[in-house]
A and B are shown apart, each in its own frame.
Chain A
């Protein structure tokens, strides 16, 4: 299953791209996406444990299962306001 992960702010700068495409065997969880993302973009490794993930605009947990075509985002700690 193809999963595209959107990146923002520092994660985007470190990876040098706004989106990373991953190929994963289902069932795909956020935990699996974290591991695959760290391999695909090693520069993200040190900060990924501090990043949250969103699935279709909702915060997820590591156990969240991702359906095909879902929109996945990697969210470094937010600093709005």
Chain B
């Protein structure tokens, strides 16, 4: 299960997708939208993607994880559109015979996803205004998030 979706992420459906009788471990990671970035309050987040490339990059990462660790099944789901605070924006799940491989592969997949998968989020601030999040693009922003 490798997909982009505008629907809320169903963790149980993802767990089932990677479940296997050969596996003694399933690691399921949910990335959830956070209310505060330092002292700044977020009302909601909007995610957008270059969908065909995001899909192919996620498939490639899953294949790489399976080549590198004894991973039985892999699921990566990224939510797009508006995601309210506290809900999952991304899910990565991995099953393997033993737990250490599942932890390592899931952690590696999340790190690579955040570097390589073309998805962007926009913060909608409680104090008003919005900002695209582009890590490393600007050294600092003023209090209004305006350049």
Interface on A for B, CB 8 Å cutoff? 6, 8-10, 13, 47, 50, 54, 57-59, 73, 75-81
Contacts and interface: CB of A to CB of B under 8 A. Distances in A.
Query: SS class of chain B's interface: helix, strand, loop or mixed?
Result: mixed
Nearest to A10: B132
A42 B16 CA distance: 49
A59 B117 CA distance: 10
A76 B137 contact: yes
Q: B110, B114, B119, B120 — which one has the most chain A CB atoms within 10 A of its CB?
A: B120
A8 B136 contact: no
19 contacts: A6-B50, A9-B122, A50-B134, A50-B136, A54-B53, A57-B53, A57-B56, A76-B137, A77-B134, A77-B135, A78-B114, A78-B119, A78-B120, A79-B132, A79-B134, A79-B135, A80-B119, A80-B121, A81-B31
B115 interface: yes
Contact of B137 (A8, A10, A58, A59): A10
A79 B83 CA distance: 14
A2 to B, nearest CB: 20
Interface residues of B, number: 30
Contacts of A6: 50
B136 A80 contact: no
A58 to B, nearest CB: 8
Nearest to B131: A10
A81 B90 contact: yes
A79 B133 contact: yes
Given A8-B120, A9-B120, A80 B114 contact: yes
A8 B118 contact: yes
